[in-house]
Amino acid sequence: MVNPVKSILERGEVSLGGWLNLGSPMAAEMMASCGFDWLAVDAEHSLFDLNTIADSMRGIEARGCVPLVRVYGHDPVTMARILDAGAYGIIVPHVSTPDQAKELSDSMRYPPVGVRSAGTGRIAAMGDDYRATINDQVLVIPQIEDMEGIENAEAILEVDGIDIGFIGPNDLALSMGVESGHPDHEAAILAVAAAGKATGKPVGLPIREVEGARKRIEDGFTFIDCCSDLRIMEAGAKATLSGLRG
């Protein structure tokens, strides 16, 4: 089992991915066919259940893309079930301390490295090498979404077993009481880029505009969520209607 996204990031290259909000395995497969390195199933804010998560990951894998999942909490059992269903990595929201990061890393890896329970889930039952390789291939991705996390960003990324730091810019802005683009918000985002540089760990964020994404890559972000199935559908529908009614 090899995780190509991990290999891309270890080479210092940029990895482009997208977000899945529609709760649709067909949309997941269609997005995966477009050439993204990875796609993240959003189980935190969307209507996915475990079966649709697994079906979406099947479609993603079938098109040569890496399936990730954003979970809805820090429960180790939930993360183990998502990994058993086939995720190559998990994005965990609202991580603010290195202690939280350490617990997450431990919960996603088998002993002796971590404490993940062994079972015969979908992915583990299909190959003899899964348990022997997944500890090195899984991506543990804490999502930093408040000022405590910003202040602890370097310490979070220094935790052994943390692979990528990922910013949640909207919740970060809410927690700061400012709008996205405020100078303090921008400074917080750049603090995570600096933490990534200091620790040698890749960092990422969602950014929907092409020029904005290019700027963030220049800032040092290499794990880029550049679009979502929901927003692509919305933008396409609006453009069609505007063109016909205009």
List all residues 6 or more positions away from 97 whose beta carbon is below 8 Å from its beta carbon.
Answer: 148, 149, 152, 155, 156
Q: Please, are residues 229 and 21 in contact by the beta-carbon 8 Å criterion?
A: yes
Q: Calculate Rg over the CA atoms of the chain.
A: 18
Q: How high is the pLDDT of residue 1?
A: 78
Q: How high is the pLDDT of residue 127?
A: 67
CA–CA distances in Å: residue 137 to residues 8, 89, 162, 175, 197: 12, 8, 12, 33, 22
Q: What is the pTM of this model?
A: 0.96
Whether the per-residue pLDDT at 75 is higher than 70: the answer is: yes
| Each residue's pLDDT tens digit, 223-232 | 999 999 999 9
Of all residues in the chain, the percent with pLDDT exceeding 90 is 93
Identify the band that residue 148 occupies on the pLDDT scale cut at 50, 70 and 90.
very high
Identify the band that residue 99 occupies on the pLDDT scale cut at 50, 70 and 90.
very high
Integer Cα distance of 94 and 90 in angstroms:
13
| Each residue's pLDDT tens digit, 3-19 | 999 999 999 999 999 99
Average per-residue pLDDT in the chain?
Answer: 96
Q: How high is the pLDDT of residue 129?
A: 85
- Options 45, 94, 182, 185, the catalytic residue: 45
Integer Cα distance of 95 and 72 in angstroms:
12
Whether the per-residue pLDDT at 121 is higher than 90: the answer is: no
Whether the per-residue pLDDT at 124 is higher than 80: the answer is: no
Q: In the predicted model, what is the mean pLDDT of residues 207-214? A: 96
Where along the chain do its domains lie? 4-245
Lowest mean per-residue pLDDT among 36-50, 119-133, 176-190? 119-133
The question of whether 182 is a catalytic residue gets the answer no
- The domain 4-245: what is its CATH number? 3.20.20.60
Residues β-bridged to residue 38: 17, 66
Q: How high is the pLDDT of residue 246?
A: 74
